[in-house]
């Protein structure tokens, strides 16, 4: 199936996000509150993670195995990543909008984050791990990358206890729309 990649990116650029419901019906959603991962000194991570970072066990890659990251993110008992949405992410990846930010332990995919980069915003769609600490190391290294590339914000969409551990915070839609306009005017290169 062919997808209108431009129309999909326009939806994200207006603050919406795609999600499948319980019966795999795909729809656009918006939220009154958005969760952001801080790109400033509010970003934090558990002290126990410092050992994994300092040990340098994991290497980082971008799009080394995009399909495996999408599959890893969807591999859950309950998932909003329907087969159609996985195909859409692949189309966005092929068009240069979607990325997998990955951690590897040797030749084994340890974890990763699936996201979309538009202007100065990175929209984190999902994350997963196969090896403990794999996705957490990916989160720290992704924030470092977004900072170094002058991204305005990292949108995690919805809060959960895991994201709170990294300093994630919520903002109201009105404030999100202001940041969105700023981000759309910035030209940041993710790769």
pLDDT (tens digit per residue) in 135-166: 999 999 999 999 999 999 999 998 999 899 99
- Report the pLDDT value the prediction gives residue 187, as an integer from 0 to 100: 95
177, 92 contact by CB (below 8 A): no
Average pLDDT over residues 114-133: 97
Closest by CA to 135, choosing from 49, 35, 44, 18, is 49
Backbone angles phi, psi at 99, to 5 degrees: -140, 155
Furthest CA-CA distance within the chain: 46
Q: What is the pTM of this model?
A: 0.94
What's the confidence (pLDDT) of residue 36? 98
Q: Is 110:132 a contact under the CB 8 Å cutoff? A: no
HSE (CB half, 13 Å, CA atoms) of 35? 16
CATH 3.40.630.70 fits 5-185, yes or no: yes
């Amino acid at each position: 199936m062919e997808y209108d990649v431009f129309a999909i990116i326009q939806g994200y650029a207006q603050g919406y996000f795609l999600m499948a419901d319980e019966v795999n019906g795909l729809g656009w959603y918006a939220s009154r509150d958005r969760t952001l991962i801080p790109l400033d000194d509010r970003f934090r991570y558990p002290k126990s993670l410092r050992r994994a970072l300092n040990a340098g066990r994991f290497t980082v890659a971008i799009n080394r195995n995009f399909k495996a990251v999408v599959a890893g993110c969807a591999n859950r008992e309950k998932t909003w990543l329907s087969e159609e949405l996985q195909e859409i992410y692949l189309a966005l990846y092929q068009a240069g909008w979607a990325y997998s930010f990955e951690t590897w332990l040797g030749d084994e995919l340890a974890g990763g984050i699936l996201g979309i980069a538009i202007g100065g915003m990175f929209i984190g769609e999902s994350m997963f791990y196969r090896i403990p600490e794999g996705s957490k190391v990916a989160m720290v290294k992704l924030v470092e990358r977004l900072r170094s590339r002058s991204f305005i914000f990292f949108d995690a969409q919805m809060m959960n206890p895991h994201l709170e551990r990294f300093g994630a915070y919520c903002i109201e839609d009105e404030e999100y729309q202001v940041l969105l306009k700023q981000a759309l005017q910035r030209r940041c290169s993710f790769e």
